Amino acid sequence: MGKLFREYWIPFLLSEEVKENGGTPVRVKLLSESLIAFRDSNGRLGLIDEFCAHRGVSLWFGRNEEGGIRCPYHGWKYNVLGKCMEVPSEPKDSGFCEKIGLTSYPCVERGGIIWTYMGPAERQPPEPAFEWTTVPKSQRYHTKRWEECNYLQALEGGIDSSHVAFLHSGELRSDPLHHGSKGSDYHLSDLAPKFEVVESSCGLHIGVRRNAENDQYYWRITPWIMPWYTIVPPYGDNPLNGHAWVPIDDENCFAWTFSYHPSRSLNELELGVMRDGGGLHVDLIPGTFRPTVNKGNDYMMDRGAQKARRSYSGVKGIAMQDASLQESMGRICDRTQENLVSTDNAIIMARNVLYRSALGLEKDERPRGLDEDTQAVRSASFVLPRNIAFTEAPNEPMKVRKGVAHTSI
């Protein structure tokens, strides 16, 4: 699976974390590797091994100066490609400096996010082309947070739509970016949804239907894009929300939330809710990416609100309601103890696709979700007559159309 993940461009920093040329380096833990990211004095981005090749000092303490980062211990200096530029103690004509280098990975900046590719150079795919990386800055708002569990159990929460009408029922009635739409009414009125899941060129299309009036179904379609992306079906004209759960190591991940509108700027109400930790975003401890509501304080669970049915779980906020339960399973969930049911079909199929993709890579097969056409997909919500499958919905509602609003109820 680690090799499979390295086939993809991986989001790992917000642009604002390294916005200054020659600024402070940032520690990065990604796929269990300890790395350092920095923007050099010329504005080039680097992601290199955190530790100096001399005595293993962390280059987080380094000086970012004149096209490279210098170890403060003995002055060895490295550029964004990890190549050693100077070893002050050795004669320049000795050739010693040319023998020294650190692991480095290429970086690109797209849509306010910095991505890296950690796989073989000859297999490097096209740069990320998700819709949230292509819309103007005024139409997007992205955040990330630390989640204290394996990436897969967090991802599985993202493709499980059956919990929404239970766990998030309070927010469907109160959150400004969810309540007031016809879709939220359908969601709350039918607590026994039916799943139809189909494999797609990106991974899966997960269709969930609920009863609607006039012999129709209300459909919510979630695309899962390999290996860790989902796009949440929308409500009304509210922004779309994408997620990514990127492994820090086996027991931790970064949960990204990409909020964007394809055809208009985000308004002040939407931005205000997001900045205050509402919608699918969270409030963070200043200077960190740890939520203020976290495992250490029992997620500030309000038993009174739970008992009074103001909140189904007693935890505030959609994202932390999800995270609290995903983390409660343990750092790595023991799946031998599960008892899966029909509404878990998307989870079963996603595991199968991941497993087959990892095996296929050993046979040099190219995995899904690497190309622009497989990333050009949206979530959608709509009503259809009961005799029409969601895969046959008119006007291709899940197809990205530049500048055209998404399909939503």
The CATH number of residue 302's host domain is 3.90.380
pLDDT in tens, 54-68: 999 999 999 999 999
Instruction: Examine the domain organization and report whether 277 and 342 are in the same domain.
Output: yes
Q: Which of 271, 259, 1 is nearest to 130 (CA)?
A: 259
Q: What is the pTM of this model?
A: 0.93
Predicted local distance difference test score (pLDDT) of residue 160: 86
Q: Which residues contact 13 (CB under 8 A, 6 or more apart)?
A: 26, 28, 37, 113, 114
Q: How confident is the model at residue 86 (pLDDT cuts 50, 70, 90)?
A: very high
Q: How confident is the model at residue 346 (pLDDT cuts 50, 70, 90)?
A: very high
Instruction: Examine the domain organization and report whether 162 and 300 are in the same domain.
Output: yes
State mean pLDDT over 392-406: 96
With pLDDT > 90 as the criterion, what percentage of the chain qualifies?
A: 85
Domain limits for position 248: 149-392
If phi > 0 it is left, if psi is from -120 to 50 it is alpha, else beta; for residue 172 that is alpha
């949804």: which residue's tokens?
193
Q: Would 348 be classed as within a structural domain?
A: yes
Q: Would 388 be classed as within a structural domain?
A: yes
Q: How confident is the model at residue 109 (pLDDT cuts 50, 70, 90)?
A: very high
Q: How confident is the model at residue 192 (pLDDT cuts 50, 70, 90)?
A: confident
Q: Would 231 be classed as within a structural domain?
A: yes
Instruction: Examine the domain organization and report whether 153 and 118 are in the same domain.
Output: no
Instruction: Examine the domain organization and report whether 24 and 89 are in the same domain.
Output: yes
Predicted local distance difference test score (pLDDT) of residue 328: 95
**Mean pLDDT estimate for the chain:** 94
Asked if residue 36 has pLDDT above 80, the reply is yes
CATH of the domain at 35: 2.102.10.10
289: its two tokens: 């990416």
Instruction: Examine the domain organization and report whether 73 and 163 are in the same domain.
Output: no
Half-sphere exposure for 92 (CA within 13 Å, toward CB): 2
State mean pLDDT over 170-193: 77
DSSP label at 33?
Answer: E
Q: How confident is the model at residue 78 (pLDDT cuts 50, 70, 90)?
A: very high
Predicted local distance difference test score (pLDDT) of residue 300: 93
State mean pLDDT over 305-329: 89
> CA-to-CA distance for 383 and 360, rounded, in angstroms?
37
Strands (E), 123-202: 140-147, 194-199
Predicted local distance difference test score (pLDDT) of residue 367: 97
Instruction: Examine the domain organization and report whether 98 and 170 are in the same domain.
Output: no
Q: Would 128 be classed as within a structural domain?
A: no
Instruction: Examine the domain organization and report whether 111 and 189 are in the same domain.
Output: no
Q: How confident is the model at residue 163 (pLDDT cuts 50, 70, 90)?
A: confident
Predicted local distance difference test score (pLDDT) of residue 187: 75
Q: Would 269 be classed as within a structural domain?
A: yes
Predicted local distance difference test score (pLDDT) of residue 180: 64
Q: Which of 251, 7, 230 is nearest to 151 (CA)?
A: 251
Instruction: Examine the domain organization and report whether 44 and 182 are in the same domain.
Output: no
Instruction: Examine the domain organization and report whether 103 and 155 are in the same domain.
Output: no
Asked if residue 115 has pLDDT above 80, the reply is yes
Q: Would 408 be classed as within a structural domain?
A: no
State mean pLDDT over 224-251: 96
> CA-to-CA distance for 91 and 224, rounded, in angstroms?
55
Q: Which of 7, 246, 244 is nearest to 125 (CA)?
A: 7
Asked if residue 179 has pLDDT above 70, the reply is no
Total domains, the chain: 2
In the chain, the N- to C-terminal Cα span, in Å, equals: 37
Instruction: Examine the domain organization and report whether 68 and 180 are in the same domain.
Output: no
Q: Would 143 be classed as within a structural domain?
A: no
Asked if residue 48 has pLDDT above 90, the reply is yes
Asked if residue 165 has pLDDT above 70, the reply is no
* Lowest mean pLDDT, pick from 119-128, 300-309, 319-328: 300-309
Asked if residue 113 has pLDDT above 70, the reply is yes
- Map residue 3 onto helix, strand or coil: helix
Instruction: Examine the domain organization and report whether 93 and 181 are in the same domain.
Output: no
Asked if residue 161 has pLDDT above 90, the reply is no
Predicted local distance difference test score (pLDDT) of residue 200: 96
Half-sphere exposure for 372 (CA within 13 Å, toward CB): 5
Instruction: Examine the domain organization and report whether 161 and 87 are in the same domain.
Output: no
